[in-house]
Amino acid sequence: MDETILQEIALARADVLARIAAAAKGAGRDAGSVQLVAVSKVQPEERIEAMLAAGQRIYGENRVQEAMTRWQPRREAGLDLELRLIGPLQSNKAKDAVALFDVIETLDREKLAAAMADASAKSGRAPRIYVQVNTGEEEQKAGVAAMEADAFIASARRDYGFAIEGLMCIPPADEPAGPHFALLAKIAARNGIAKLSMGMSADYETAVMFGATSVRVGSALFGARD
Protein backbone atom coordinates (compact mmCIF):
# COMPACT_ATOMS: atom_id res chain seq x y z
CA MET A 1 0.00 0.00 0.00
CA ASP A 2 1.01 3.61 -0.61
CA GLU A 3 3.10 4.69 2.39
CA THR A 4 1.98 8.31 2.15
CA ILE A 5 -1.68 7.40 2.47
CA LEU A 6 -0.93 5.05 5.36
CA GLN A 7 0.87 7.84 7.19
CA GLU A 8 -1.71 10.50 6.38
CA ILE A 9 -4.56 8.39 7.66
CA ALA A 10 -2.70 7.25 10.78
CA LEU A 11 -1.84 10.88 11.59
CA ALA A 12 -5.37 12.12 10.95
CA ARG A 13 -6.78 9.43 13.23
CA ALA A 14 -4.25 10.14 15.97
CA ASP A 15 -5.12 13.84 15.75
CA VAL A 16 -8.87 13.25 16.02
CA LEU A 17 -8.36 10.86 18.95
CA ALA A 18 -6.16 13.43 20.70
CA ARG A 19 -8.80 16.14 20.21
CA ILE A 20 -11.51 13.85 21.55
CA ALA A 21 -9.35 13.09 24.59
CA ALA A 22 -8.65 16.79 25.18
CA ALA A 23 -12.33 17.73 24.86
CA ALA A 24 -13.30 14.91 27.22
CA LYS A 25 -10.70 15.98 29.75
CA GLY A 26 -11.94 19.58 29.52
CA ALA A 27 -15.44 18.35 30.30
CA GLY A 28 -14.21 16.27 33.23
CA ARG A 29 -14.87 13.06 31.35
CA ASP A 30 -12.80 9.96 30.73
CA ALA A 31 -11.46 9.88 27.14
CA GLY A 32 -12.42 6.21 27.02
CA SER A 33 -16.08 7.17 27.36
CA VAL A 34 -16.18 8.46 23.77
CA GLN A 35 -16.02 6.10 20.81
CA LEU A 36 -14.76 7.17 17.42
CA VAL A 37 -16.98 6.04 14.54
CA ALA A 38 -15.11 6.44 11.25
CA VAL A 39 -17.60 7.39 8.54
CA SER A 40 -16.38 5.46 5.53
CA LYS A 41 -19.13 6.25 2.97
CA VAL A 42 -17.84 6.95 -0.55
CA GLN A 43 -14.18 6.62 0.50
CA PRO A 44 -11.77 4.81 -1.83
CA GLU A 45 -10.53 1.35 -0.89
CA GLU A 46 -6.96 2.41 -0.23
CA ARG A 47 -8.11 4.85 2.48
CA ILE A 48 -10.31 2.19 4.04
CA GLU A 49 -7.38 -0.22 4.10
CA ALA A 50 -5.15 2.45 5.62
CA MET A 51 -7.74 3.15 8.32
CA LEU A 52 -7.97 -0.55 9.14
CA ALA A 53 -4.18 -0.69 9.29
CA ALA A 54 -4.24 2.25 11.71
CA GLY A 55 -6.32 0.10 14.05
CA GLN A 56 -9.78 1.61 13.55
CA ARG A 57 -12.52 -0.98 14.04
CA ILE A 58 -15.80 1.00 14.26
CA TYR A 59 -17.25 2.29 10.99
CA GLY A 60 -20.35 4.26 10.08
CA GLU A 61 -22.16 3.96 6.77
CA ASN A 62 -25.10 5.81 5.22
CA ARG A 63 -26.41 3.28 2.76
CA VAL A 64 -27.15 -0.37 3.24
CA GLN A 65 -26.12 -1.54 -0.22
CA GLU A 66 -22.86 0.38 -0.22
CA ALA A 67 -22.03 -0.90 3.25
CA MET A 68 -22.70 -4.50 2.21
CA THR A 69 -20.36 -4.19 -0.76
CA ARG A 70 -17.62 -2.61 1.32
CA TRP A 71 -17.82 -4.65 4.53
CA GLN A 72 -19.50 -8.02 3.94
CA PRO A 73 -16.39 -9.59 2.34
CA ARG A 74 -14.18 -8.27 5.14
CA ARG A 75 -16.54 -9.57 7.75
CA GLU A 76 -16.59 -12.98 6.06
CA ALA A 77 -12.79 -12.91 6.03
CA GLY A 78 -12.95 -12.75 9.82
CA LEU A 79 -12.12 -9.09 10.39
CA ASP A 80 -13.22 -7.83 13.80
CA LEU A 81 -15.54 -4.91 12.99
CA GLU A 82 -18.37 -2.90 14.46
CA LEU A 83 -20.62 -1.50 11.74
CA ARG A 84 -23.11 1.27 12.37
CA LEU A 85 -25.88 2.48 10.09
CA ILE A 86 -26.11 6.27 10.37
CA GLY A 87 -28.19 7.06 7.27
CA PRO A 88 -31.96 6.88 6.75
CA LEU A 89 -33.32 3.34 6.45
CA GLN A 90 -36.21 2.30 4.22
CA SER A 91 -38.45 -0.40 5.62
CA ASN A 92 -37.81 -2.64 2.64
CA LYS A 93 -34.07 -2.60 3.47
CA ALA A 94 -34.62 -3.48 7.13
CA LYS A 95 -33.82 -7.16 6.56
CA ASP A 96 -30.42 -6.42 4.98
CA ALA A 97 -29.64 -3.77 7.59
CA VAL A 98 -30.45 -6.10 10.49
CA ALA A 99 -28.29 -8.79 8.90
CA LEU A 100 -25.24 -6.55 8.47
CA PHE A 101 -25.12 -3.84 11.11
CA ASP A 102 -24.20 -4.12 14.78
CA VAL A 103 -25.86 -0.80 15.52
CA ILE A 104 -28.72 0.94 13.70
CA GLU A 105 -28.77 4.61 14.69
CA THR A 106 -31.66 5.87 12.61
CA LEU A 107 -34.87 4.36 13.92
CA ASP A 108 -37.44 7.16 13.59
CA ARG A 109 -40.86 5.78 12.73
CA GLU A 110 -43.35 3.09 13.55
CA LYS A 111 -43.31 1.35 10.18
CA LEU A 112 -39.53 0.97 10.35
CA ALA A 113 -39.72 -0.31 13.94
CA ALA A 114 -42.17 -3.00 12.78
CA ALA A 115 -39.93 -3.99 9.85
CA MET A 116 -36.83 -4.15 12.05
CA ALA A 117 -38.60 -6.19 14.74
CA ASP A 118 -39.83 -8.59 12.09
CA ALA A 119 -36.35 -8.94 10.55
CA SER A 120 -34.84 -9.55 13.99
CA ALA A 121 -37.41 -12.19 14.87
CA LYS A 122 -36.75 -14.05 11.60
CA SER A 123 -32.96 -13.80 11.64
CA GLY A 124 -32.30 -14.02 15.37
CA ARG A 125 -30.01 -11.02 14.95
CA ALA A 126 -30.69 -7.98 17.11
CA PRO A 127 -28.58 -4.90 16.35
CA ARG A 128 -28.31 -2.30 19.11
CA ILE A 129 -30.73 0.51 18.34
CA TYR A 130 -30.60 4.30 18.51
CA VAL A 131 -33.50 6.65 17.84
CA GLN A 132 -32.70 9.55 15.53
CA VAL A 133 -34.14 12.87 16.70
CA ASN A 134 -34.65 15.74 14.25
CA THR A 135 -33.67 18.40 16.79
CA GLY A 136 -33.83 21.20 14.22
CA GLU A 137 -37.33 20.21 13.03
CA GLU A 138 -35.98 20.28 9.48
CA GLU A 139 -38.47 19.30 6.80
CA GLN A 140 -35.97 17.39 4.65
CA LYS A 141 -34.22 15.61 7.49
CA ALA A 142 -34.97 12.19 8.94
CA GLY A 143 -35.61 11.70 12.64
CA VAL A 144 -38.53 11.91 15.01
CA ALA A 145 -39.49 15.45 16.08
CA ALA A 146 -38.14 16.43 19.50
CA MET A 147 -41.68 16.90 20.83
CA GLU A 148 -42.64 13.40 19.76
CA ALA A 149 -39.46 11.69 20.93
CA ASP A 150 -40.68 10.59 24.39
CA ALA A 151 -43.81 8.96 23.00
CA PHE A 152 -41.89 7.30 20.18
CA ILE A 153 -39.23 5.89 22.52
CA ALA A 154 -41.95 4.56 24.84
CA SER A 155 -43.71 2.88 21.94
CA ALA A 156 -40.49 1.38 20.55
CA ARG A 157 -39.84 -0.16 23.96
CA ARG A 158 -43.37 -1.27 24.72
CA ASP A 159 -44.73 -2.31 21.34
CA TYR A 160 -41.56 -3.71 19.76
CA GLY A 161 -39.49 -4.72 22.78
CA PHE A 162 -36.49 -2.67 21.70
CA ALA A 163 -33.91 -1.78 24.31
CA ILE A 164 -33.12 1.69 23.00
CA GLU A 165 -29.39 2.09 23.58
CA GLY A 166 -28.99 5.67 22.46
CA LEU A 167 -30.15 8.76 20.62
CA MET A 168 -28.63 10.29 17.52
CA CYS A 169 -28.95 13.73 15.90
CA ILE A 170 -27.62 15.78 13.00
CA PRO A 171 -27.96 19.50 13.82
CA PRO A 172 -28.92 21.94 11.06
CA ALA A 173 -25.84 22.91 9.05
CA ASP A 174 -26.41 26.64 9.48
CA GLU A 175 -26.91 26.79 13.25
CA PRO A 176 -24.58 26.45 16.25
CA ALA A 177 -24.62 22.77 17.16
CA GLY A 178 -24.37 23.16 20.95
CA PRO A 179 -28.08 23.76 21.68
CA HIS A 180 -29.02 20.75 19.55
CA PHE A 181 -26.55 18.53 21.41
CA ALA A 182 -27.90 19.84 24.71
CA LEU A 183 -31.48 19.09 23.64
CA LEU A 184 -30.55 15.53 22.63
CA ALA A 185 -28.80 14.97 25.97
CA LYS A 186 -31.88 16.24 27.81
CA ILE A 187 -34.25 13.94 25.92
CA ALA A 188 -31.93 11.00 26.59
CA ALA A 189 -31.65 11.78 30.31
CA ARG A 190 -35.39 11.99 30.90
CA ASN A 191 -35.89 8.69 29.06
CA GLY A 192 -33.12 6.85 30.90
CA ILE A 193 -30.97 6.49 27.77
CA ALA A 194 -27.20 6.43 28.27
CA LYS A 195 -25.69 6.76 24.80
CA LEU A 196 -25.50 9.83 22.55
CA SER A 197 -24.31 9.68 18.94
CA MET A 198 -23.57 13.28 18.02
CA GLY A 199 -20.83 15.36 16.44
CA MET A 200 -19.23 15.19 12.99
CA SER A 201 -15.95 16.57 11.58
CA ALA A 202 -16.91 20.20 12.15
CA ASP A 203 -18.24 19.89 15.69
CA TYR A 204 -17.21 16.64 17.37
CA GLU A 205 -15.26 18.42 20.11
CA THR A 206 -18.35 20.46 20.98
CA ALA A 207 -20.39 17.25 20.99
CA VAL A 208 -17.98 15.65 23.48
CA MET A 209 -18.40 18.67 25.78
CA PHE A 210 -22.17 18.10 25.63
CA GLY A 211 -21.87 14.43 26.49
CA ALA A 212 -21.43 12.53 23.20
CA THR A 213 -20.55 8.88 23.80
CA SER A 214 -19.77 8.39 20.11
CA VAL A 215 -18.80 10.85 17.40
CA ARG A 216 -19.25 10.20 13.68
CA VAL A 217 -16.25 11.56 11.84
CA GLY A 218 -15.70 11.26 8.09
CA SER A 219 -13.73 13.93 6.25
CA ALA A 220 -11.48 14.88 9.19
CA LEU A 221 -10.26 11.27 9.22
CA PHE A 222 -10.27 10.18 5.59
CA GLY A 223 -10.01 13.48 3.74
CA ALA A 224 -12.74 15.12 1.66
CA ARG A 225 -15.29 12.89 -0.07
CA ASP A 226 -15.45 13.12 -3.89
Ligand X SMILES: *Cc1c(COP(=O)(O)O)cnc(C)c1O
Give the nearest distance from C-beta 124 to ligand X in angstroms. Answer: 28
Residues 6+ apart with CB under 8 A from 84: 37, 58, 59, 60, 61, 101, 102, 103, 104, 105, 197, 216
Q: Tell which one of 89, 170, 184, 198 touches ligand X (CB under 6 A).
A: 170
Note whether 64 and 89 are within 8 A (CB). yes
Check binding of 217 to ligand X (CB under 6 A). Answer: yes
Q: Tell which one of 83, 87, 97, 103 touches ligand X (CB under 6 A).
A: 87
Segment interacting with ligand X (CB under 6 A) among 25-33, 51-59, 88-96, 199-207:
199-207
Note whether 123 and 95 are within 8 A (CB). yes
Check binding of 17 to ligand X (CB under 6 A). Answer: no
Which phi and psi (to 5°) does residue 200 adopt?
A: -125, -170
Check binding of 104 to ligand X (CB under 6 A). Answer: no
Return the half-sphere exposure (C-beta side, CA atoms, 13 A cut-off) of residue 146.
17
Residue nearest to ligand X (CB): 218
Q: Tell which one of 24, 39, 51, 54 touches ligand X (CB under 6 A).
A: 39
Check binding of 86 to ligand X (CB under 6 A). Answer: yes
Question: Contacts for 1-4 with beta carbons within 8 Å, 24 or more apart?
Answer: 1/46, 1/49, 1/50, 1/53, 2/46
Check binding of 129 to ligand X (CB under 6 A). Answer: no
Segment interacting with ligand X (CB under 6 A) among 16-24, 46-54, 180-188, 195-203:
195-203
Sites of contact with ligand X (CB under 6 A): 39, 41, 62, 86-87, 170, 200-202, 216-220
